[in-house]
Amino acid sequence: MNVDKIRKDFPILQKKLKGKPVVYFDNSCMTLRPKHVIDAMDDYYYHYPACALRSLHKLSKKATEEVEKARIIVQKFVGAKKTKEIVFTKNTSEALNLVANSFGLKKGDTVLTTDKEHNSNLIPWQVMARNFGIKRKIVKSDKNNEFSIENYEKNMNKNVKLVSVVHTSNLDGVTNPIKDITKIAHDFGAKVLVDAAQSVPHKEVNVKKLGVDLLAFSAHKMLGPSGMGALYGKEEILENLSQFLVGGETVSDSTYESHVVENLPEKFEAGLQNYAGIIGFGAACKYLKKVGRNAVSKHEYRLNKRLTEKLEHVDGFSLIGPKDSKKRGGILSFNIAGKDHHEIAMLSDSLNNVMVRSGAHCVHSWFNSQNLKGSVRASFYLYNTEKEVDLFSDTIKNISRL
């Protein structure tokens, strides 16, 4: 993987802020966008800025053609069998909410999650429990903050209708054994929904090989536009889900008293869609496929290993997650004793333009359970370099001495 060549594709990396280059280590929140994605979206706005699927004129036909091309690209990117198994959403959060409100859970049904879920895979189930009386079970991690199969099996029973789990944690980068989780769930007759926002951008994810029933991910975490995501679902499962958002394009006919539900995937895609975003999503998938996600994963590990080895000797340094950086993928979440995590992030930015995330990373529940207020999180991607890692390491060492 030629990182120097890749970096030339990202306009923001060619700029300087206050005389210094941009060092972007906030990729778990949102990645930067290459020119290929920006150009694909601009092409829509400049040359065929019309509704897709609705009209019969030339511009609409072109928009429809490009949207469907993008759907095919996204379908193949995650290994789905059919294009109708890909539903476009605003983001992972909307996709998870769609399932929560459409799955048909009843009072007494159990949904099982982990203790490291993003709020997007926690709050919908809390609301469902409050409004509809479903039950929730949480699988506790082991002492290394990794998924515990033993604890998982203890919590499984015939009342569990849905296992909704994160694939790769945005807290510490740990990847859960989804294939094993899915097999056990299916043995009990439960379905599996996966929050793959942090896995699809960084490693090969094939829904058929994993055996999952439903999987949600976002474009903005994988070089694509904001306000775009997707829900994968097995055809038979999507067919049985009730509609969540309804209106234009979700029906094929209506009277004053009734309506006819549209076929998949339009059944779930209410209203005028973000056509430029869908097209940009497809362009992002093409870009990543060309680079190769296995190459991306290996590159992130090298950077994480290098930074971990440099920071672990800093006074007061404490790591969140396993010590083995290979188990943390492209994420390094940490604290420095006596230093506020927000202060560290702001100083890193002001001193050397090294941009990281600080706070609870939308995993407030885990931090509260550990009596922690938050952490500093550095997260890497395909355009980051060892030179940037060294700069950040030196920056943290200087901050720790203040």
Residue 156 · residue 188 · CB < 8 Å? yes
Across 7-23, b (16+ Cβ under 10 Å) vs e yields: bebbeebeeeeeeebbb
Residue 59 · residue 67 · CB < 8 Å? no
Q: Say what the pTM is.
A: 0.97
Q: What single letter denotes the amino acid at residue 113?
A: T
For the chain, the farthest-separated pair of C-alpha atoms sits apart, in whole angstroms, at 71
Q: What is the pLDDT of residue 402?
A: 85
CA distance 153 to 139: 9
Q: What single letter denotes the amino acid at residue 253?
A: D
Q: Spell out the per-residue pLDDT of the chain, length 402, in tens.
A: 999 999 999 999 999 999 999 999 999 999 999 999 999 999 999 999 999 988 999 999 999 999 999 999 999 999 999 999 999 999 999 999 999 999 999 999 999 999 999 999 999 999 999 999 999 999 999 999 999 999 999 999 999 999 999 999 999 999 999 999 999 999 999 999 999 999 999 999 999 999 999 999 999 999 999 999 999 999 999 999 999 999 999 999 999 999 999 999 999 999 999 999 999 999 999 999 999 999 999 999 999 999 999 999 999 999 999 999 999 999 999 999 999 999 999 999 999 999 999 999 999 999 999 999 999 999 999 999 999 999 999 999 999 998
DSSP 209-227: HHT-SEEEEESTTTTS-TT
CA distance 255 to 62: 31
List of E strands, 241-353 = 251-254, 259-261, 317-320, 331-336
Domains and CATH numbers, the chain: 37-290 (3.40.640.10), 292-401 (3.90.1150.10)
Catalytic residues: 362
